[in-house]
Structure formats: structure tokens, C-alpha cells
Structure 1
Amino acid sequence: MIAFFVQIKCQLGKAYQVAAALADREIASEIYSTAGNFDLLVKFYVEPGTDIGHFVNEQVQLIPGIQDTHTIITFKAF
């Protein structure tokens, strides 16, 4: 499995709704609320060969209440 993270900026007052929608879809491994420029940090796992850009576009960015995303591709866990 390939791990990657997505930082999510939500529309004002929508962070908990977005987090609940992600949890309901059962596509995220972990969902954290954060302070700073983004409201949520979400860890995903996909099968090797999965197009991460399409996954984020089709599975994450279409959730109501999301304003912006920033995807972080990971290479190796230590």
C-alpha cells in the first residue's frame, strides 16, 4: 500500500462535517483536526499503481465543504 496525506482547508464552520463525511466514506486511514492554514490532515492508503491525483479529485475534493487541498506524497516510513 502507498501512504499519502492531504491537508484540507474547509469552508468556515464545515470542518467537522467534512471530517464526518470522510469517516463515513471509509476511505481515510486517519483524520486529524489541525491549526494553521489547513483545518484537517488526512492519511490515505491506496494500492500501488493507483493514480493519487484522480483519487483526490474524485474521492476527496468533491466532498461538500472543502475549499482547498494540499497533497503530500510520501516515500518511506522510518
Structure 2
Amino acid sequence: MQTIFVMVKCELGRSYQVADEAVDIEQVSEVHSISGQYDLMLKCYLDGDVDIGQFVVDHIQLLPGVKDTFTLIAFKAFS
């Protein structure tokens, strides 16, 4: 299992619409509204054999209202 965080910059006025669409993607576990250069942060869990770049391009970047993305790959979760 791979964990990634995708920060999403939305078109003006579209953040809530993008968030509503993103939560319906099976691999997206959490969607947070954030401040700064990006509007949303998505926490995603992907199977080990899934191509991260292809997932982001096919499932996140094609959501209506998405302008830009920035992807972080997590190595280890500490509890």
C-alpha cells in the first residue's frame, strides 16, 4: 500500500465542487481544505502496483475545476 498526499489548486470558486468530486474517488481517504498556494489536500491510499503519476493524471487532474496539483509521496507513518 502506498500513501500519497495531493495538493490541489482549484479554479476560483470551485474548491467545494472539486472536494465533493474527490471524496467519491475510491482511493481518496480524506479531503481537507487548506490555506496557502493550494486549496485542497487529498490523502490517498494506492495499491503497491499502481503507477502514482498515472493515478494523479487520470483521477485527480481531470476533475472539473482542478488547475494544478502537487504530489507528495509518504514513506512511513508514525503513530
For this structure pair, what is the TM-score category when the shorter chain's length is used for normalisation? over 0.9
Total equivalences in the alignment = 78
Percentage identity across paired residues of the two chains: 49
Measured after TM superposition, the shift of residue 27 of structure 1 is 3.1
* Structure 2 unaligned residues grouped into runs of 5+: none
Q: Distance in 1 between matches of 2:76 and 2:31?
A: 20
Measured after TM superposition, the shift of residue 24 of structure 1 is 2.5
TM-score (norm 2): 0.94
Given residue 14 of structure 2, which amino acid in structure 1 is its aligned partner? K
Q: Which residue of 2 aligns with 1:66?
A: 66
1:1-78, aligned counterparts within 5 Å? Answer: 1-78=1-78
Q: Distance in 2 between matches of 1:20 and 1:62?
A: 14
What do you get for the CA RMSD once the two structures are aligned?
Answer: 0.8
Runs of 4+ residues over 4 Å off in structure 1? none
Mapped contact 2:27–2:46 kept (Cα < 8 A): no
Given residue 14 of structure 1, which amino acid in structure 2 is its aligned partner? R
* Structure 1 unaligned residues grouped into runs of 5+: none
